Structure 1
Amino acid sequence: MSVLGAVSLARPNVVAPSLASSSRGPACTQLRHYAPGKRMEKIKRDNKAQEAPDADAPKKNMKRIGTFMPLPASQLKHKMFNPDDPVMINPPTFHANALTTRDAASKVMQFAKPQGSIIKAYGLPINMLLEFRVLSKPCSVVRDVTLSTIERLEAASVGSSQNSRAVITGSTGSGKSYLLLQAVEYCKSRDWVVLYVPRAINLVNSSTEYVYDARTRTYLQPEFSFQLLQRFQQVNAQFMGTLKLTKDVTLGRRSLPVGTPISELVNIAQRDKALAPLMLEALLREVSRQKTHPVLLAVDDIQALYCNTYYRDPQFQGIKPYHMSVPRLLLDFISGKRYFERGAVLGAVSTTHTRFQMPLELREALKIPHDRPVSPYLRREPELVRYASGLQNIPMPSSFQVEEAASLFEIWAKDKAMHFAACDETFLSMYTQSSGNPRDFIWKGLLSSFTM
C-alpha cells in the first residue's frame, strides 16, 4: 500500500459544519443573485423611476444651503415683516474719522459694503459670516483693545514692518478675529495697501492643488495664488495703476521691463494660472519696496502656518509649511526676513481647530503660558523658531465689559434679530450665563432661540 493510501485510510471523514449551525457566525458572505425574471422587473422599475421621478420624494442630490441665508423680500409678506413703525438700525460707519477719540469705545459700528470692500473681496471666517447674515448690516462693537491696536498701527505707518509684527492672542471666543477685521477695515479707510487672509488653514489643509517646482524647491499653489491676486486687485484697485515695477520680472524667454504697472502681473496670471505664484511674489516684492502708502498684512488662523500640513510628497511624507510657496512667502514677512518699508504685519490665532493648535515654538515666542507640561528636552524645530522670533503679543480680554455687551444687545433688539422680548432681565441673564464671553454671549445667548 502506498503512503498516500495509508494516510487516506487513517484519516476519518470530516464534514464541514453548516453556516446556520455555527455559533461563531459565518466565515464568508453569500453572494446574492436575482433570478432572471425578477432581475428584469427590477431593471424596468429603476428605468421607470428615472424617467418619471416622484414629485413628493426628496431630491437626494439637492444642494445644501448655508445657515441663515436671507429670504427674498417678495416672500416676506407677513405683517410682522412690515410693521407700522419699522426701526431700521443705522449705526455709524467703522471709519478712521469716527475713531479719533476715546468716546468711540463701547459703541457699535457697521462695516461699509461698497464695491471692492474687504468683506466682499477677501471673505470672512465662518462664525463671523453666519452672524453677519442674521443682522441686516454687519456690525461690531468698538472695544478698548480696538483703540489701542489702532494707535499701534498709526505708529507703524511711518516705519518698517520689521518693528511692527504682532499676533492677537486670547481665550476661545474672545473676539480675536473681530479685532483683526477691525484693524483691516481701519487701514483700508486710511488708504493703506491691504492684504488679508481670513482663513490661513486653507493654505495647509490640502484643499487646493499643488505642484513641485524644481527651481525654487518648493511646492507651488497656483490656484490659491491666483485667487489671492484677484482679491488683492479688487481691494487695492486705486493703487494698481500708480505702482510700477522697479525690477525686471523674467517670464521664460521674455521679461517685464522696469516701469510696467503692477496690474500687468495680475493680467499675466489671468492668462496663465501656472505663473500666479511667481506673479504673487513679484507683486509683494514691489509693494514692500514702495514708500508712498503703508502696507498691512493681516493673517487669521496664523498658527496654522506653523503646523504640519495635510499635503504629501511622492513618498507620502508630510510637507512642512515652509516648503509650500504661499505659506513660505507669508512666513518671510511675518518673521521679518522680508519687510515692508512702511507698514505692519498683524495676525490672530485660533483655538477652535483641534488639528491646528498653537505649536510650541510660536507659544514660546509670544510668551504664552503652556497648556500642558513641557519638557526642556522637547525638540524645537529651528526653522519654526526663526519664523516666530520677534513677534509681539496683543492679549485679548476674555470677556465683554457690561457697556460693550449692552450696546451689542441693543443693536440686535432694534434689528428684530431676537425671538424674545428685549429687557434688562434678559440681557443680564445672557451676560451672566456666558460669563461675558463674546462668542457665548452671541451664540448661546442672542441666537439661543434659533433652531440650528
Structure 2
Amino acid sequence: MSLQICLRCLSRPSAPSQIRLVPTTTNKQTAAFTTSTPHAAAGRIQVSQMKPKRTGNKPTATRPVRVKRLSPKNVPQRTGRPPAPGERKALRKRVVLSNTNALEVQGMPDLNPWQLFDKSMHGSVAGLPDDVVDPLRVVEAFKPTQGWSLFRRPATLVRSETVEMASWVQEVHNSQEGKTVRKVLFGERGSGKSVLLLQAMAMAFSKGWVVVNFPEAKDLTIGHTSYVPLYRNNQLYIQPHYTASLLAALPKANPILADLRPSREHNLPISVPPNISLARLCDLGKDPEIAWPIFQAVWSELTAPSQPDEGEGLVRPPVLMALDGLHHIMCESEYLDRDGKHLHAHNLALVQHFLSHLSGASPLANGGMIIAATSGSNKAASPALDFALRRNEALASSPGADIPAWDPYRKIDTRSLKAMDGVEVWRIEGLSKEEARGIMEYYAKSGMMRQTVSDTLVGERWTLSGGGIVGELERGSVRMRI
C-alpha cells in the first residue's frame, strides 16, 4: 500500500488537470479588494452579457421630467411699478439736510469767514447760512454718507483746519496780484477731508467767488458717460454729457455769472450774441454736441484778467475749483482707446484741465484756490500718488528730512508722479479733545446723545475714535445708538 502511494506521488501525470473558473452571475456582485465595477469585471468573462455602447449623437432615453405649472390664479403678480430710468441713482444720491425730530440748537452762529478768527468760535459748531445751502446742494458738496439727516439744520464744526482754510480764503480775496492756493488734502478715513472741502466752498460762495466742483472723481473715470476723441488731437478725449451737466450747474450755483459779459470773441460752432451773459452762455452748453467748446469759452472768460475800466461786467471774481477722490484720476480709467487698451485718466480732457491748474501749469489771472482731496472709503489703487504724497510731505516738513525712495523693482506711473511735482499736501488728522467736546455738546443739544458730556466721556470717546477721527466719533456717539 505504501509502495503504491509513493509511485503515484513520484510519477508525472500524463495529462495536466485544467481548472476552469465558472463565474456565478448574480444581480448584485461585490468585490472585497477591487475598485472595478461588477459590470466591468463581468465583461472580461462574458462579453455577450453587456449592452452594446451607443454610438453617434442619438440622445439617450431619459425619464420625462414633470414640470409643475402654476395656474393663472397662483402666478405671483407684480403690484408695484418698475423704477423709472435714473430713479435708483437719484435715490442713492439723495441727500436729506433736515431732521424735524431733532432739537433746534439755540444761539448757534452761522459760518462767517470774517468771524472765524475769533477765538470763541474755535471748537464750536456753526450753521451753514440759508443762502449758501442751495448752491452747495447744486454743486453736490453734501455727501449721502455724511450725517446731515440727523440734525435740525446743516451745521459744521469750526476746527483748527477750518480757521487755516479761512485765512487762505481771506488772503486770496484781499490780494491784488491774483494769488492762488493749491492744496491736496489727505489723511485717514473719516478725518473730515470732504467736510473741509465743503467749508471752503461755503466760504467762497459767501464772498461771491465762482465755484466749480467735481464731487466724485470716480464719475470721470469709471466709463459711465460718453466720450469721444478730441478733434485735432486723437490722444485727448472729451466727455460731452458730463461737460453739459457741469455747465448746467454753473449758473444755478453761481448767480454772479448773470452779471458777467464776454471780453473777447470766441470761435464757437453756433452764433452767439456779442453782449451775452456768461450764465446764458452756460445754458447754451446744455447741448452735448457743443458743450466742450462752450466750456472752454466760459473758462477762458473766468480766468481772463479783470478790466474794470472797459465796461460793466468785465470784473472777474476769484475761482475755486475742487475735486474729491483724487486717486481715481491718478491711474488708468475704464475707457478704451481704438486699440482696445485702457486709457489713462490723464487722457481725459476734464481731468487734464483740473491737473494743469493743480500743478500750476495753467494760472488763474484773478486768483483763487485749487483744492483736491483723497478718499479713504472709496479710492482706486494708485501707488504713484501714495508715494508722491509721502514725498511732498517729507519735502515740506524740513529740508533735511528723509525723502522716501521708489522701489526700483516696481513699475511706476510716471504721469501721475509728474503731475504731483511741486504740489503742496496737507495731512488732515483727528480732532483735539477740546474740539471733540464741542461737537459732542452739539450732539447733546440736538437730542441725538442722551449722556452728559463730561471730561471722562470725552476722553473715552476720543480714544475709541482713534484719536479724534470725526467720522468715528460721530459713529460711536450718535449712529451706534440709532
Q: TM-score range by the shorter chain?
A: 0.7 to 0.9
Question: Of 340, 344, 348, which aligns to 1:320?
Answer: 344
CA contact (8 A) 2:440 2:453 kept: no
Give CA deviations for 1:143-182 in whole Å, capped at 9, x if unaligned: 1121122212322332667852111222222211111211
Give CA deviations for 1:87-114 in whole Å, capped at 9, x if unaligned: 5455211122322433321111111233
Q: Is residue 258 of structure 2 the alignment partner of residue 241 of structure 1?
A: yes
Other-structure match for 1:353: 378
Other-structure match for 2:149: 133
Q: Is residue 229 of structure 2 the alignment partner of residue 212 of structure 1?
A: yes
Higher helix share: 1
Q: What is the deviation of 1:249?
A: 2.3
Q: Is residue 394 of structure 2 the alignment partner of residue 363 of structure 1?
A: no
CA contact (8 A) 1:165 1:344 kept: yes
Question: Of 124, 134, 150, which aligns to 2:166?
Answer: 150
CA contact (8 A) 1:211 1:220 kept: yes
Q: Specify the structure having the higher radius of gyration (Cα).
A: 2
The one-letter code sitting in structure 2 at the alignment partner of 1:312 is: L
CA contact (8 A) 1:210 1:221 kept: yes
Question: Of 232, 240, 248, which aligns to 2:250?
Answer: 232
Partner Cα distance (1:67, 1:214) in 2: 34
Q: What is the deviation of 1:409?
A: 0.9
Partner Cα distance (2:97, 2:161) in 1: 36
Partner Cα distance (1:365, 1:439) in 2: 27
Other-structure match for 2:17: none
Other-structure match for 1:9: none
Give CA deviations for 1:303-322 in whole Å, capped at 9, x if unaligned: 32222212222433111112
Give CA deviations for 1:253-286 in whole Å, capped at 9, x if unaligned: x54465532223212123x222112222221111
Question: Of 274, 281, 284, which aligns to 2:289?
Answer: 274
Q: What is the deviation of 1:34?
A: 6.4
CA contact (8 A) 2:217 2:329 kept: yes
Partner Cα distance (2:198, 2:112) in 1: 12
Q: What is the deviation of 1:196?
A: 2.0
Q: What is the deviation of 1:441?
A: 0.5
Question: Of 118, 134, 140, which aligns to 1:101?
Answer: 118
Please provide the CA RMSD for this pair. 3.9
Partner Cα distance (1:327, 1:389) in 2: 16
Q: Is residue 215 of structure 2 the alignment partner of residue 198 of structure 1?
A: yes
The one-letter code sitting in structure 1 at the alignment partner of 2:370 is: V
Question: Of 427, 447, 451, which aligns to 2:479?
Answer: 447
Partner Cα distance (1:140, 1:32) in 2: 71
Partner Cα distance (2:473, 2:361) in 1: 40
Q: What is the deviation of 1:442?
A: 0.8
| 1:295-334 correspondence runs (5 A) | 295-334=319-358
| 1:331-346 correspondence runs (5 A) | 331-341=355-365, 342-346=367-371
CA contact (8 A) 2:180 2:370 kept: no
Partner Cα distance (1:124, 1:17) in 2: 72
The one-letter code sitting in structure 1 at the alignment partner of 2:193 is: K
Q: Is residue 451 of structure 2 the alignment partner of residue 421 of structure 1?
A: yes
Give CA deviations for 1:417-452 in whole Å, capped at 9, x if unaligned: 23x4344254443222113211111123321112xx
Change (3 A) 1:168 1:42: same
Q: What is the deviation of 1:358?
A: 5.9
Question: Of 420, 423, 426, which aligns to 1:388?
Answer: 420
Other-structure match for 1:400: 431
The one-letter code sitting in structure 1 at the alignment partner of 2:153 is: K
The one-letter code sitting in structure 2 at the alignment partner of 1:94 is: L
Corresponding residue SS for 1:319: strand
Partner Cα distance (2:297, 2:127) in 1: 35
Q: What is the deviation of 1:131?
A: 0.4
Give CA deviations for 1:211-262 in whole Å, capped at 9, x if unaligned: 233334322212211121122211211x21332223322233x544655322
CA contact (8 A) 2:183 2:424 kept: yes
Quick check: 359-368 or 165-174, which moved more?
359-368
Give CA deviations for 1:55-82 in whole Å, capped at 9, x if unaligned: 7xx9997987669987999xx9xxxx69
Give CA deviations for 1:340-385 in whole Å, capped at 9, x if unaligned: 1122212212222242446346426633699998414645444334
Question: Of 161, 164, 187, which aligns to 1:170?
Answer: 187
Change (3 A) 1:60 1:208: closer
Partner Cα distance (1:104, 1:141) in 2: 9
Corresponding residue SS for 2:389: helix
Partner Cα distance (1:131, 1:428) in 2: 22
CA contact (8 A) 1:106 1:403 kept: yes
Q: Is residue 317 of structure 2 the alignment partner of residue 287 of structure 1?
A: no
Partner Cα distance (2:254, 2:352) in 1: 23
The one-letter code sitting in structure 1 at the alignment partner of 2:298 is: L
Other-structure match for 2:11: none
Partner Cα distance (1:31, 1:262) in 2: 75
State the identity as a percent. 19
Aligned residues: 406
Partner Cα distance (2:171, 2:410) in 1: 38
CA contact (8 A) 1:108 1:142 kept: yes
Gaps of 5+ in 1: 1-11, 19-27
Partner Cα distance (2:198, 2:334) in 1: 27
The one-letter code sitting in structure 2 at the alignment partner of 1:131 is: G
Partner Cα distance (2:356, 2:52) in 1: 70
Other-structure match for 1:264: 280
